[in-house]
Amino acid sequence: MHRLAALLLLLALPAAAQAPPACTRAREGQVACMAGKLCECRFERGGQLTGRPDHFAWDCGALRPMCPPDPTITQQQPWVPPVGVGVWVGPGRRGAPPP
């Protein structure tokens, strides 16, 4: 029984992680959502200072935007009172005099 469980676990490990798509000349300018960031495939110049040759790479830097939210996930509406609170005061109308 333990051998069967170990075998199933070993077979499931490669499926848990996927490699990012290859950034090549054919994909230059395309974007992909990786780790919550909207990364762009772009050409990066190498040089003597960096010690790297010219290559294509995914740009997932700090200035890149976050991925758009998944449309299938609905968020709780802001006007719904929290559960367990007996009194809830809704927002007032603009321009209406206070009571």
Q: What is the pLDDT of residues 30-59, one digit of tens each?
A: 999 988 899 999 999 988 887 889 999 999
The proportion of the chain whose per-residue pLDDT surpasses 70, expressed as a percent, equals 58
Give CB contacts under 8 A, 24+ apart, made by 90-93.
none
Does 7 have pLDDT greater than 80?
A: no
Q: Is 50 inside a domain boundary?
A: yes
Domain contains 57: yes
DSSP secondary structure code for residue 47 in this structure: B
Q: How many CA atoms lie within 13 A of 34 on its CB side?
A: 19
Structural domain including 35 reads 18-67
- For residue 5, being part of any structural domain is answered with no
d(CA 30, CA 15): 25
SS3 53: coil
Count the domains in the chain: 1
Question: Residue range 6-14: average pLDDT?
Answer: 57
The pLDDT of residue 49 is: 85
Which three-class secondary structure state does DSSP give residue 92? coil
Q: In whole numbers, what is the pLDDT of the chain averaged over residues? A: 77
E strand or H helix at 38, and its extent?
strand 37-44
Res 86: pLDDT: 62
This prediction has a pTM of 0.53
Does residue 90 fall inside a structural domain?
no
Q: Which residue has the higher pLDDT, 8 or 31?
A: 31
